[in-house]
Amino acid sequence: MRKAWRQPGQVSDASGPPFERDTGPPRTRELAESLIAHAVRALQRGDQDILAQAVTELTAEPTPDHGPGPDGAPTPSSGSTLHSTPSGPQPDIRSEAGGGRGSAPGWRGLVDRVLLGRLEDGVAAAWQRGWQPADLARFTGRRLGRRHRRLAIDVIAAEMRAYSAVTVDEEWRRQLVELGAEVWWDSDRSFTRAWCNRDATDRGTLIMCALELSHLLGSLPRLARIGPPPGTVPNGRASTPRATGADQRMLGKVRALLAKAESTEFPEEAEALSTRAQELMARYSIDHALLAAETGMGSEPGGRRIPVDNPYDSPKAVLLTVVAEANRCRAVWHRELGFSTVLGFPSDLAAVEMLFTSLLVQATTAMVHTGTRTDARGKSRTRSFRHAFLNAYAARIGERLRGATGEATTRAAAEADGKDLLPVLAARDRAVEEAVDTMFPNLTRGRARAVSNYEGWVAGRAAADLASLNGRSEVTGG
């Protein structure tokens, strides 16, 4: 198992309200920016006192007893001290609570726009670091929670207004649709109020949520890029070729077979269904390989990131690895980020994601059905049992998948009408390996954690023998 700034296009007139980052007198805008920067740095240092004071300033109500200054800019209240530095005014937020707040009626709106702009910049920087919308939303939810994930999706929708639709890759558009990333608020000026109403929360909670999201965006690691970021001018060749009608029908049949395998109460039926699914997907991959070799118009290896969540993330990553390898792909596990990057040809990537998701459902159902475990002293052994169960399941599934793929390949070679299939498949394998070496030059190979529960291992292999790998022959009528 292997481990491992934006040039926006024109605003799309179909993507939502126009971008509204302006605004406010320079002195006041710098104060808002400074307070937000202080708050994010306080989060980074874990300084709760400064963070609380900064949030108080940012959420402050307008104070009518302080009028605008001589230049028309609102003046901070008396508790604040501004220090002139080469980078602009810096608020001394160690002063008494309540100091530093803007006193003009526009203070809150200005804070909202500055904070939203900072978040959008953070999302744009994430694209340049190799992140994609689904990755960012999933990682935010994993690290910070559901509310932060909802906010991240809305910020993604806001940031995507900066790009013409023709400069956004098809895979990105698919992810945006699946996330429901759309501009639903009337204008950026009303974003905070609308968001609080929708989420049934208060302004202070939202401001804190936004600051925590800004901190997370600023600390994202760089990922291997698996597709063009938005704003990239198309080069005439799609990174993710559009599936044909026949492809969609085939994938739909595979999904139906796997769904039936997940829902059936009869293990023998589930086994037959899953086996047919793997055979079908193997033949589907072979047909694509032969067509590409004949026409010279084949695609190149691409990538897809697939979640690998706790608990028991290690055996789940092993399961994804064996599914990927049986379908002529390679998986690289990013344990700390909660996903694996799977590299392969587009038709194979779709098969890997579908089959892994289905087998994981089947494994989890079988594992939970076995119940809990205790030792002779009454101490729980459920965790070690389930860890062993999933590791054994992955190992046995790998054996079965390789067998099903081998049988499909043998039959396809016999039916190839004189075409030499093996060199074609070998060339695709080399292309995938080269893509892995290029994108992950410093890969290390790890071993799964040792299994200490023999009962769980035996139960896991038994469950894998009953798992459904079905699909391909059902689609082809075989």
User: Is omega for the bond preceding 74 within 30 degrees of 0, making it cis?
Assistant: no
pLDDT in tens, 6-39: 333 333 333 444 444 544 566 788 889 999 999 9
Tokens for 135? 């990755």
Q: Is 157 left (phi over 0), alpha (psi -120 to 50) or beta?
A: alpha
Predicted model pTM: 0.75
With CA atoms as reference, report the closest residue to 284 among 357, 360, 350. 350
Say what the alpha-carbon torsion angle 334, 337, 342, 347 is, to the nearest 10 degrees.
170
Both ends of the chain: CA-CA distance in Å?
Answer: 33
Report helix, strand or coil for 78. coil
Name, of 28-37, 395-404, 409-418, the range with top average pLDDT.
Answer: 28-37
Distance CA 88, CA 17 (A): 31
Residue labelled with tokens 């402050």: 60
Average pLDDT, the chain: 77
Q: What is the mean pLDDT of residues 191-196?
A: 93
Distance CA 148, CA 137 (A): 9
- The β-bridge relationship of strands 2-3 and 82-85 is unpaired
Residue 443, CA atoms < 13 Å, CB-side half-sphere: 22
Report helix, strand or coil for 93. coil
Q: Where are the domains of the chain?
A: 8-218, 245-476
pLDDT in tens, 81-104: 333 333 444 444 443 333 444 445
Residue labelled with tokens 């909202």: 112
With CA atoms as reference, report the closest residue to 388 among 466, 331, 314, 465. 314
Give the dihedral sign, CA 99/102/103/108. negative
